[in-house]
Amino acid sequence: MINSISGYKSANLIGTKSKTGETNVAVFSSVVHYGSNPPILGFVLRPTTVKRNTYDNILDTKYYTINHINEAIIEDAHHTSAKYPEGISEFDKTELKEEFKNDFYAPFVKQSAVQIGLKHLQSIDIKANGTILILGEITDLHINDAIIEPDGFIDLMKAKTAVVNGLDTYAIPTKNKRLTYQRPK
């Protein structure tokens, strides 16, 4: 109940690569925008009471990707939550395809219409529950041209971008209502 009470959240895959070249991809539903100048996104990492390959790779290499999950890859994206031992890439256990662009160190997810490359800026320990807020600056951005509107708006409905409720229920938004910037009356 508590996992779903906050409502729909973005559904993303975070891609990393170890210093020894092993790739990793994992599903996250806690990605949040923290600023536009510089462009910063953050996500929450569960307590490190067990090995967290994503976190270790980010600390070691400083680079990672955030890739939107879409309708076509929901099942494979969800499977990345399975706990594989170090040295086993989730890319090898699913139909997800890693893609490297512009010499960026970490892998993007090829099937994603929105691919974001980030450089680690800061990790903030949340003492209340042992989680960690990871902040990264956007350094690379790859968006399918077909979902970008003339004014720069990214139409995630066209991309069939998924949202998640709780830990295991995915949905595809079907309606969009854009409103103008509001000023006092």
Write out pLDDT tens, residues 128-176. 999 999 999 999 999 999 999 999 999 999 999 999 998 889 999 988 7
Q: What pTM was computed for the model?
A: 0.93
Is residue 177 left, alpha or beta, with left meaning phi > 0 and alpha meaning psi from -120 to 50?
Answer: beta
Cα–Cα distance measured from residue 139 to residue 123, given in angstroms and rounded to the nearest whole number: 18
CATH topology (fold) of 9-171? Pnp Oxidase; Chain A (2.30.110)
Report residue 58 as tokens: 């980010």
Whether 135 and 122 have beta carbons less than 8 Å apart is answered as yes
Rg of the chain taking only CA atoms, in angstroms: 16
What is the residue type of 48?
A: T
